[in-house]
Homo-oligomer: A and B are copies of this chain.
Amino acid sequence: MSFVRDTAVRRSGDHFDAEVVPGWDVAGNANGGYLMAIAARAMAAVSKPHPVALTAHYLAPAKPGPVTVRPRVVKEGRRFSTVSASLEGAERPLIQLLGSFADLGEVEGPVRIDAEPPELPAPEDCFAMKRSGGGSPPPLMSHLDLRLHPDDARFAQGAPTGRPEFRGWLRMRDEPLDAFALLLAVDVFPPTIFNANLPIAWTPTLELTAHVRGLPVEGWLRCRFSTRFITGGLLEEDGEIWDESGRLVAQSRQLALVPRA
């Protein structure tokens, strides 16, 4: 199994065919970042090579099987191209997207960073999320090497920190990371709500926006996901992803539903 192969798209006239491959799911539903990566590959194929700002609205859960991506170039610019797209299953639309694409190899400009990557023990001293055969952790962990900060990992033993936050290392098990893998990375940590002391088991994503700032070097990603506002039946989950060279490579924010307890 391979992320690059399992997110591949094949042009067929004005649309693209792809396959939601089993194993990229949580409890039977394909991961939202995985779906976003499939759609983004088709959007990049009609515009520019990398997603820079990509928003997805999630319409229905996706099961394994054939999907169709219909990208439409809204504006072809010199540096950025704006593209909308739908990703549709056999019976219904699954996600709707809007994004700006560019060549991330070309970016430059002044740099100023007023934040630090999360402090983490070495990967070997973190908590490895492994596919154990049960329902948890989810099947997609067979593709990913995700190492949670030990302080944040105790939720799995029924001892949440009380802070809706997860920090950890992430890499693919068998292949390097590309810009599209960052779209997956922003959506594969456990929901921050698992570390809040609230009687909520799941927070389905309404909307996810990812900003890709640069192409990651090979190695571990250093990640942090946190929530500050649980209100109005909604919560935001803010992500920051740094590569092994210490550069911020992606930021994300998703808005998720907080079901009534």
- Contact residues of A with B, CB < 8 Å? 52-53, 55, 57, 59, 74-75, 77, 80, 82, 84, 86, 93, 96-100, 104, 107-115, 163-164, 196, 198, 200, 206-207, 209, 211, 213-214, 227-234, 236, 247-248, 251, 253, 255, 258-261
Contact = CB atoms under 8 A, between A and B. Distances in A.
A134 to B, nearest CB: 28
A217 to B, nearest CB: 14
Nearest to A80: B206
Contacts of A115: 228-229
B251 A113 contact: no
B233 A107 contact: yes
A214 B228 contact: no
A198 to B, nearest CB: 6
Given A110-B198, A110-B258, A98 B55 contact: yes
Contact of A261 (B110, B114, B229): B110
Contacts of A230: 109-113
Contacts of A52: 206, 234, 255
A114 B228 contact: yes
A100 B207 contact: yes
Contacts of A232: 104, 107-109, 213-214
Given A86-B74, A96-B82, A110 B200 contact: yes
Contacts of A251: 229, 236, 253
A144 B231 CA distance: 27
Contacts of A253: 209, 251, 253
Contact of A100 (B206, B229, B247): B206
A255 B211 contact: yes
Given A112-B230, A233-B107, A258-B110, A98 B100 contact: no
A93 B75 contact: yes
A164 B233 CA distance: 31
A84 B128 CA distance: 40
Contacts of A111: 230-231
B248 A109 contact: no
A234 B107 contact: yes
Given A55-B209, A74-B96, A96-B74, A248 B234 contact: no
Nearest to A60: B75
